[in-house]
Each structure stands twice: as structure tokens, then as C-alpha cells.
Structure 1
Amino acid sequence: MRAALYDRYGPPDVLYEGRVPKPVAGPGLVLVRVRAASVNGGELMGRAGKVRLVTGLAGRGFPKRTGVDFAGEIVALGSPAPGLKEGDRVWGVMPRSQGFGSAAEYVAVPPRHLALAPAGLDLVAAAALPAGTTAITALRDKARITAGERLLVRGASGGVGSVAVQLGRAYGARVTALAGAKNLDLVRELGADEAFDYRTTGPADLGRFDVVLDTVGTEFRAYRRLLAPGGRMVTISFDGDHILTSLSCILASTVFGSRRVRFFSGNPTRELFDELTRLTESGAIRPVVDTVHPLADIAGAHRALEAGGVRGKHVIRIG
């Protein structure tokens, strides 16, 4: 089957469309024909070799695969899976134990990492939303945001940020969004009460917040200082060029700080996807697609995400 591959760490140009064996629906697995996948920041760091201690273990050598989330149709069930059957439209993620690999024609994953996709939503558009499970975990579970609280979203026009703005509105928070100048219209449309250009508005220009959601991973200390008493900061990213410094700051603040910081790496299961489906079908959130790329342009999709200024997700159309 066709899949996105790379034979060495490096820039986006190391990526290419190649061929690998088609997976099978073994016991405890569901075989899904992938219609589309999206590109995530973690994949960029993996491809560049910035987290090779992790990707080296999970990838078991070259060639390596890329892609985390996906949307498609169930082809076969290796074991009975309650609520799922052949032909169902689903979305999901590669489990952490399997590593990357959703940018391919087929994936075989445990049913707990799948859920029915929203009714009526095109599967290519649907592939832009699985990162929304990260936003749900960040705001609902980690920050425990409540109505009336002030929420700051950094990277508000990106894949997670664009969902977080919509969720913040749905949860009744007052949402302040930081994004590039050309994307301020988008984040206001998604529900931000205030939107500022991150290039001209720094931490010193902002007020206090009950919750800060950081999808960028830089200037950690400066944004932590914006927390009001009892405030919570959730970060889902870190500076790939200064990993140890970033993680040490997060750890120290989590353990010792009065303004607590939560860092997590998503590994969503069906409950989160079911909630994402519910929110999408209710109209509370919608996918935001920047560009749809063919699988053969996987390098271009990575290059575009690295360039910044993204509006939602870069999606890879598989078939």
C-alpha cells in the first residue's frame, strides 16, 4: 500500500510516497481504509530528529512513517468491537505504542482508539478535527475551566488552538486569542472575544487569566506570570530546540509553583472521540482546513506547517 516514508532525519524534503505492506485486522485490531490524515507538530519534530530518543524506539529503524490521526471507513474487524462494524465511517489516532503511521492507505488500530465520525461531515474535513481531543483534555480535564473564567489561547489559529477557541466559547469562558495578523478574523469568527497579533502583542501587554492554553511552547515563564491566583496553565508543546530546559520549567512549576502548570501528551481513546463527535454534531465546534494535499505532496504539507501562519489543519488526502 502507499504510505508517507522517510529514510533519514532531516527537512521536509526527506519525505516521500513509498510502499509498505498492508496491515491486517488481527485479534483486537480494526482495519481502516484511510481517506485523510492531518499533519501535527509532533510529526515535524519526529521527522527532524529532535525527539529521536522516542522515535528511535517506536520506529524501529528506517524507513520511518508519519501521521497520527485519520478519518476513514472500517474494512474489517479482527475481533468483535461493540458499536463498530464494517463500513462504518470513523475517526481516530494511532496509539502511542504503534508510533506514527496514519499517512497511509490503511491502518490497523485497537477499537478503543476509534469512534464513529460525525454524521454528514466529509471525511477529508473530519481529518482536521481529531486534534480537538487534545483541546478537550486540556480545557475540560486538565484546567477544569468554568463559565466566566478568562482563557488565553496561544497559537489560536492552529489545529488545536482553533478548536480550543470554539470550546472555550462553548464552556462559557471569555476567550482571548493570540494568532498571526492575517488570522485574527478567523479566531474572532470562531468565538474569540478578543484577538491580538502575537508579533505586536507580548505578555506584558496582556492582563491576567484564569487559564492559559499554550500550543506554542516558547516564552514559558513569561506566560506563566499572567496567571491569576488559582490560575492554571496547560501546555501541549515545548521548544524542540531546548527540550530539557522546557521540560525542567514545566516540571518545576507543576511540583512547586502556586500557579500550577499541566503538561501532557495526548493518547485519546473512544470516550474523547465520542465527545468530539457530540460537540461537532451539536454545532459547538467545526473543522478548520488550511490546505488539502495529496499524499505525494507530504513534504509540501510538512513544509507549509513549518512555515507558520496556519489556519487550522493541513490535511493529507489519501484516497
Structure 2
Amino acid sequence: MKAWTWERYGSPDTLTLRDVDEPAIAPDEVLVRVRAASVNPYDWRHLRADPYLVRLSYGLRRPKAGLILGADLAGVVERVGDEVTGFRPGDEVFGEVPLGSFAETVAVPQDRLAVKPAGLSFEQAAAVSMAAHTALQGLRDVGQIEAGQRVLVHGASGGIGTFAVQLAKAFGAEVTAVCSTRNLELVRSLGADHVVDYTSTDFTQREERYDLLMDIVGDRSLAKLRSVLTPGGTLVIVGGIAASNRLLGPAAQILRGALVARFVRHRVVSVSWKPNAKDLRFLAELMEAGRVTPVIDRTYAFTEVPEALRYLERRRARGKVAITV
């Protein structure tokens, strides 16, 4: 099969499209013929070893041999392991792997897959897992969102943000979305009740207060973020695409939050997505009901994976960037 191999840390130009062996599957895994994938900041951070912390898991000097980049995917089941009960060949599925989706086939644990909603294209389905899991678990599980709450999403037009706005509305919240001028109409179309243009207004200087704030960007101090919370409000830290700490990256803000949480009246919590089939099925139900729709900015061919990563690195993408395989 063809796959984008990852043999040294650096820019997207270091990726190589080559022939590799098709993966074997474990008893609890499914072999999926990939029809679409999507790119995430997770991908380019691993590619560049930014932060350096990445090297502890994947190789200090260069990535371990045989690694293939990519996490999100959608495709068709080709065969299943002996312990797989929920899928059969021919099923259209979507989900996530730690690495390996930038390939023509990939082995996926059955607990990281769900049946693709019939109304979604493969590209839309491939855009879901990592971003939507992060938004869902950040709002519901660690944020403990409740109907009627005032929620602010900082970074509302990106991959996680576009899901967060829609999910917060689905949970019955009053949503304020922070984004740039060119994305105001987009986030309104996703259901945001109020929008703040960060190019002209600093949301931390406004009088409004929020019960829950999801910070996806990471370009504000924790003190400024907490200043717009109600006395019992919750700050959910995603980590941030703007994180510049070369050693720890987004983890630096998460660690600061864990320290601050011990001494302040607000709840300061962080989210690290945990892909699982139960949440994928929940998201599929919302998408089938038309309450959540993946937003695709651009779609690239499989041969253009480096170009897709370069585009995402510019931090101008609205929603997700998809790959057609």
C-alpha cells in the first residue's frame, strides 16, 4: 500500500510517499480501507517534534522506523479480527488511531471506531474524531456544562471550536464565540448567540461574565481568562494552538492551570481527548439529527498531504482540513 512515512523531524517536506506493507490486525482490530483522513495540529506538532516532549515517545534523534503520520480517518472495513463483534467487511466507519491514517489502509482498535452516519461524506466523517472528542469531553465531562449556562468559546472558528460552538448549543447553553472578522458569519451559522471579533475587541476587557470558558487558543494568561468568569465559573484549558513553549508546548498551560486551580475559587480544568466508540456513536446521533455538522475548509488529494499540513500550520483554517484517499 501507499503511505506517508515519517523518518525525521522537520517540515512537511520531510514526509515521503512510499510503498509499505499492509498492516496486520490484532484480534480486537479492524482493517480499514481509508477513504478520507484529516489533519490536526497534533500531526504537525509530532512531525516537527514541537514540543520536544514528543521525542520521548517517538524517538530522541529521529522518529522510530516505520511510523506513519495521521490520526483521524473514515473508510470501509476490509476485514476484522477474531474478537471483533461490532463490525463486518463492507461497513462504512469513522474514528481515530494514535498514528497511521495517512495511508491506504490502517489497523484500528474496534473501540476507536463507529459506523459512519449515512448522510455524511467520508471527508466530513474523517474530520470528526479528534476535534469533536476534545470539544465534547471538554464541555461535558470536565466542564460539566448545563443548560442555560453562559459559555464562551475562545478560538471558535477552528477544528475544535466549530464543534464546541455546536455542542454547547446542543447542550442548551447561551454561546459567545470569539474569532476574527472573516469568521463571524461562520460561527453565527453554527448557532453562536453572540460573537466577539478579537481583531477589534479584547473579550477579557468586556463586562460580560461566563459560567464556562473553553480556551482553545492559549494566548491569554490564566488570570485574564478567569477575570471573565462568574464567581463559580469554570475555565476549560485545551492547551492552545498558540502555545510557544518549545519543551512542553500546550502542556505548559495545562500544568500552570493545575497549579493555579489549588489556590483560586474558580474551577480550572484541562481536557485531553480520549477517543472511544461510545462518544463517536453519541456524536453520530447528533450529526444524523442535524444538530452538529463538521465544517470543512479545504480538501486535498492524498498526494498533497504535505500541502495540507502547511496550510493548517498557517493557523488560518476554518474548521477542518480533509484528505481524500
Q: 2:117 corresponds to which residue? A: 118
In the TM superposition, residue 115 of structure 1 has moved relative to its aligned partner by 0.8
Q: 1:214 corresponds to which residue? A: 215
Superposed CA deviations along residues 71-100 of structure 1, whole A, max 9, x for unmatched, are 111111112423211111111111xxxx32
- The 5-angstrom pairing of residues 87-98 of structure 1 reads 87-94=90-97
- Does the CA contact (< 8 Å) of 2:237 and 2:254 recur in 1? no
The answer to whether structure 1 residue 229 and structure 2 residue 231 are counterparts is yes
- Does the CA contact (< 8 Å) of 1:4 and 1:104 recur in 2? yes
In the TM superposition, residue 21 of structure 1 has moved relative to its aligned partner by 1.8
What is the alpha-carbon distance in structure 2 between the residues aligned to residue 122 and residue 111 of structure 1?
21
- Does the CA contact (< 8 Å) of 2:23 and 2:106 recur in 1? yes
- The 5-angstrom pairing of residues 104-183 of structure 1 reads 104-130=103-129, 131-183=131-183
In the TM superposition, residue 121 of structure 1 has moved relative to its aligned partner by 1.5
In the TM superposition, residue 259 of structure 1 has moved relative to its aligned partner by 1.1
Alignment identity in percent? 39
In the TM superposition, residue 248 of structure 1 has moved relative to its aligned partner by 3.2
In the TM superposition, residue 206 of structure 1 has moved relative to its aligned partner by 5.6
- Does the CA contact (< 8 Å) of 1:4 and 1:295 recur in 2? no
The aligned amino acid for 1:110 is P
The aligned amino acid for 2:104 is E
In the TM superposition, residue 34 of structure 1 has moved relative to its aligned partner by 0.9
The aligned amino acid for 1:75 is E
In the TM superposition, residue 26 of structure 1 has moved relative to its aligned partner by 2.6
Superposed CA deviations along residues 32-67 of structure 1, whole A, max 9, x for unmatched, are 111111111121211121134335424652564221
Match of 1:306 among 313, 316, 319: 313
Q: 2:15 corresponds to which residue? A: 15
What is the alpha-carbon distance in structure 1 between the residues aligned to residue 3 and residue 207 of structure 2?
44
Q: 1:68 corresponds to which residue? A: 71
What is the alpha-carbon distance in structure 1 between the residues aligned to residue 275 and residue 255 of structure 2?
25
Name segments (4+ residues, structure 1) moved above 6 Å. Answer: none
- Does the CA contact (< 8 Å) of 1:17 and 1:298 recur in 2? no
What SS does the corresponding residue of 1:255 show, helix, strand or coil? coil
The answer to whether structure 1 residue 257 and structure 2 residue 264 are counterparts is yes
- The 5-angstrom pairing of residues 183-222 of structure 1 reads 183-202=183-202, 203-205=204-206, 207-221=208-222, 222=224
In the TM superposition, residue 216 of structure 1 has moved relative to its aligned partner by 1.2
- Per the normalisation by structure 2, the TM-score is 0.91
What is the alpha-carbon distance in structure 1 between the residues aligned to residue 254 and residue 136 of structure 2?
22
The aligned amino acid for 2:215 is D
What is the alpha-carbon distance in structure 2 between the residues aligned to residue 146 and residue 279 of structure 1?
17
The aligned amino acid for 1:234 is V
Q: 1:38 corresponds to which residue? A: 38
What is the alpha-carbon distance in structure 1 between the residues aligned to residue 113 and residue 319 of structure 2?
22
- Does the CA contact (< 8 Å) of 2:134 and 2:271 recur in 1? no
What is the alpha-carbon distance in structure 1 between the residues aligned to residue 86 and residue 255 of structure 2?
42
The aligned amino acid for 1:92 is G
The answer to whether structure 1 residue 273 and structure 2 residue 272 are counterparts is no
- Per the normalisation by structure 1, the TM-score is 0.92
What is the alpha-carbon distance in structure 2 between the residues aligned to residue 303 and residue 256 of structure 1?
40
- Does the CA contact (< 8 Å) of 1:16 and 1:299 recur in 2? no
Distance 1:25 1:7, change over 3 A: closer
Match of 2:253 among 237, 246, 249: 246
In the TM superposition, residue 298 of structure 1 has moved relative to its aligned partner by 1.2
In the TM superposition, residue 231 of structure 1 has moved relative to its aligned partner by 0.8
What is the alpha-carbon distance in structure 2 between the residues aligned to residue 186 and residue 55 of structure 1?
37
What is the alpha-carbon distance in structure 1 between the residues aligned to residue 136 and residue 143 of structure 2?
10
Count of paired positions: 314
User: Which stretches in structure 2 are left out of the alignment for 5+ residues?
Assistant: none
Q: 2:300 corresponds to which residue? A: 293
What is the alpha-carbon distance in structure 2 between the residues aligned to residue 206 and residue 314 of structure 1?
35
Distance 1:119 1:220, change over 3 A: farther
RMSD over aligned Cα atoms: 1.8
Distance 1:252 1:157, change over 3 A: same
Q: 1:47 corresponds to which residue? A: 47
- Does the CA contact (< 8 Å) of 2:38 and 2:123 recur in 1? no
What is the alpha-carbon distance in structure 2 between the residues aligned to residue 252 and residue 153 of structure 1?
23
What SS does the corresponding residue of 2:262 show, helix, strand or coil? helix
What SS does the corresponding residue of 2:53 show, helix, strand or coil? helix
What SS does the corresponding residue of 1:44 show, helix, strand or coil? helix
What is the alpha-carbon distance in structure 2 between the residues aligned to residue 162 and residue 307 of structure 1?
18
What is the alpha-carbon distance in structure 1 between the residues aligned to residue 83 and residue 310 of structure 2?
40
- Does the CA contact (< 8 Å) of 2:235 and 2:266 recur in 1? yes
What SS does the corresponding residue of 1:256 show, helix, strand or coil? coil
